[in-house]
Structure 1
Amino acid sequence: MAISEMPADLLGGHRKVLAESAATGRLPDRAALDAYRAAGTRAAELGIPLRLLVDGALADGEGLPGALPALRKAVSALMEGYERAQLVAIRTEEAARREFVDDLLQGRAERLAERAEHFGLRLAESYVVAVARGLREGDQERIERDLIARFGSHNVLVAVRDGLLVCVAPATLPAAVGEFTHHVRARFPAGWRVGVGRAHRGPGGVVASYREAAQALELADGLKLKIDVVKAADLLVFPVLLRDRSAIEDLVTSVLSPLLGARGGHEPLLETLEAIFASHGNQTAAARRLGLSPRAVTYRLERIRRLTGFSPDDPTQRFTLETAVLGARLLGWPAGFSS
């Protein structure tokens, strides 16, 4: 676009304002500056480059050396109006983007495909959702800005939902989830955790992946996992277990209730079983995890065998014990059970 292609009335009266200032030495008054700001806003809305707008304003000042102070005021007002219009446009776009992400995560289907196209998203593809717990004020904007700077606004969506920072990224861009986790680790306070859903296709897939990611955080808390990043794909067995709560409660009660009467309480014995399972049956490694001697671990396992009738050394009994312990942690046994 050339200066000659700008609307003729955009800088109408500008040359006259400069000429009067050059003759009288008076700067443009408030009304004139407001008119310049309005012209700058209009130029931004018309998509006229700022460089071209300023160049046109400077061109009208040629041959009027005494008008330089007025010209500076005029250009400043033009730029102020232009920048204000851009800021409004950015905020409007951000609000629309966040509203779209919120509707997407809630599964509201109204005009999703049309709105997704506006943001450069192809909802027919597969997407992965990651969520982070531990959000503080200002974290969203900084992380969103950094992710968009690297991957582009058409590849990454960032929003806040149910107190979680949410990142939606194409399954074909696994680096985005890694980068999201990196920024969470760098900015969130201690206690943060990231949950990652599986890849699913389409708008409904985004909702499914989001729910999986959020549930992964809940499962990690219930199981007292010490890892910072939990993947739904690694925890698939647990939603299956929870689908039949009465069956799991029956298993936990039948297998573990005898531990409630143990001297010292049931918790040390549960922790011993968890350490044994995490160490793949290696009692020496389990002892290191617990800060105990191998002999103490052997003693506890013998107590468990005597009380419950189950031993982790037997493959079938080990599976029953491990399932019962996992169910106990997930359901908050014994406090979470009805008497």
Structure 2
Amino acid sequence: MSGQARGRSRRGRRTDVDDWLAGVARDASAAAGDVPVELLGDYLPLLADAAATGRRPKRAELEAVEELGRRAAELGVSAGSAVQLYLSASWRLWRELPAVARSDDSEVVRDAAETVLRVVTDAVANLADGYNTARRQMVRREETLRRELVDDLLRGDADVGGMVERAEPFGLDLARPHQVALAAPHQRLPDVDAATSSLERTVLDRLGDRDVLVATKDGLVVVLAPGEPEALGRTRAVSDLGALMHSELERLPGGRPWQVAVGRSYPGSYGIARSYEEAREALTMASRLNLDTPVIRADQLLVYRVLVRDQPAIADLVTSVLGPLRRARGGAEPLLATLEAYFATGGVATEAARRLHLSVRAVTYRLSRIRALTGYDPADPAHRFTLHATVLGARLLGWPDRELDPTSG
């Protein structure tokens, strides 16, 4: 046979082998749920060569399979489907291998089987490593993108077009109304992330995975949710985002200290930032006013926002009405706390005494001292509004711990 003829014969055999391996790959792809054939790469030729020669794959060849595992993850192919593709291709190739199909020598078959199984083991292990590496990288990248998106949404980023584009992969329609709720622990907890994960599962289960984001910011758990009442469910318990969050958080170990503030619902990306500021301001006011209400709605605190809007005026009121309390023995704080408890209990001295852990006589004595020092009688309806508003203003401005300057704007 001439050299030319031998060359044509080799090319013909190579074409036959390529066609055979391509057919095995197509059948394996269909069996695995139409996983892309490209994910097999050069795996089948490697396997056939190993069966024929006993050669173990080189490191570069295994790294190529590992890269295919990363590619499978990026394409959204499940790990199970990727492994099924490789195993299906392996046994289909084994069944048609010439060394197996045409040999009566059990020793030859056994050696080929051992070599093939070793290659399959190495290849699938590297495929899984590549897949898992890519998944970890994708999760970290998604977490980073989510964190950056939440930060920009809460800040009110000026690039509205860019925000709309970035929000779309997370299922957010920024044209719809949204509300923001913040959950704050009364004391520092060791694992806020665990609380976030648990809360995220509950919120997504109740509200669905569109228009919902759960994240952390500055030690707070942030929930961005649809603003339409019907999106939160039909029952009263579920229709209140704050109640839903608090009921889940208090189930956690050490969950009782949580306090939740909910901003009002607004449309657009700037509406999200506005709702967030309302919720954050509500938490701040609740802290200053010593409110222990588990769930606080921003619209319930609008009157306090009115009080602090004109700070020079409220500072002037506090120093004018309550300033004389500084002359009392022990300073102004005990008398201010007494007024606060008295008004919080509806003007019932007995209940105020219980809340302050004092005797009723001590409370009535303090009330009489307040009347003597300020000229305002807490029991007089005509004086009560002025005193109550002034006490709230004092708490909001941090008086008496903080000196107030009525002339500053």
Q: Give the letter for the 2:397 counterpart.
A: L
Structure 1 residue aligned with 2:213: 157
The CA deviation string for residues 66-116 of structure 1, in whole angstroms up to 9 with x for no partner, is: 312221221121122222222222222222222111111111142222322
Unmatched runs of 5 consecutive residues or more in structure 2: 1-25, 96-111, 233-238
Instruction: Count how many residue pairs are aligned between Structure 1 and Structure 2.
Output: 339
Q: CA deviation at 1:9?
A: 4.7
Match of residue 225, structure 2, among 162, 169, 176: 169
Distance 1:142 1:227, change over 3 A: closer
Q: CA deviation at 1:187?
A: 5.8
Match of residue 127, structure 1, among 178, 186, 196: 178
Structure 1 residue aligned with 2:73: 44
Structure 2 residue aligned with 1:315: 381
**Other structure's SS at 1:264 match:** coil
Match of residue 106, structure 1, among 126, 141, 155: 155
RMSD across aligned positions (CA)? 2.8
| 8 Å CA contact retained: 2:153, 2:269 | yes
Distance in 2 of aligned mates of 1:6 and 1:226: 56
Distance in 1 of aligned mates of 2:48 and 2:384: 94
Aligned positions of 1:1-339 closer than 5 A = 3-4=29-30, 8-23=37-52, 27-62=56-91, 63=95, 65-66=113-114, 67-110=116-159, 111-134=162-185, 139-140=192-193, 143-144=196-197, 146-148=199-201, 150=205, 151-171=207-227, 172=229, 173=232, 174=239, 176-182=241-247, 184-185=249-250, 186=252, 193-338=259-404
Q: CA deviation at 1:193?
A: 3.8
TM-score w.r.t. the length of structure 1 is 0.87
Distance 1:316 1:155, change over 3 A: same
Q: More deviation in 273-282 or 71-80?
A: 71-80
Q: CA deviation at 1:132?
A: 3.1
| 8 Å CA contact retained: 2:263, 2:275 | yes
Distance 1:8 1:127, change over 3 A: closer
Q: CA deviation at 1:184?
A: 4.6
Distance in 2 of aligned mates of 1:310 and 1:92: 62
Q: More deviation in 235-244 or 221-230?
A: 221-230
The CA deviation string for residues 248-297 of structure 1, in whole angstroms up to 9 with x for no partner, is: 11111221122221233322221211111011011111121122222222
| 8 Å CA contact retained: 1:287, 1:293 | yes
Distance 1:184 1:260, change over 3 A: same
Q: More deviation in 151-160 or 131-140?
A: 131-140
Distance in 2 of aligned mates of 1:25 and 1:177: 66
**Other structure's SS at 1:168 match:** strand
Distance 1:187 1:95, change over 3 A: farther
**Other structure's SS at 1:336 match:** coil
Q: Give the letter for the 1:132 counterpart.
A: A
Unmatched runs of 5 consecutive residues or more in structure 1: none
Q: CA deviation at 1:152?
A: 4.3
| 8 Å CA contact retained: 1:119, 1:154 | yes
Distance 1:284 1:72, change over 3 A: same
The CA deviation string for residues 133-187 of structure 1, in whole angstroms up to 9 with x for no partner, is: 3566752365146514534442421233344332212233246544433455436
TM-score w.r.t. the length of structure 2 is 0.74
Q: CA deviation at 1:192?
A: 5.1
**Other structure's SS at 1:60 match:** helix
Q: More deviation in 42-51 or 293-302?
A: 42-51
| 8 Å CA contact retained: 2:259, 2:294 | yes
Distance 1:87 1:153, change over 3 A: farther
Q: More deviation in 242-251 or 144-153?
A: 144-153
Structure 1 residue aligned with 2:105: none
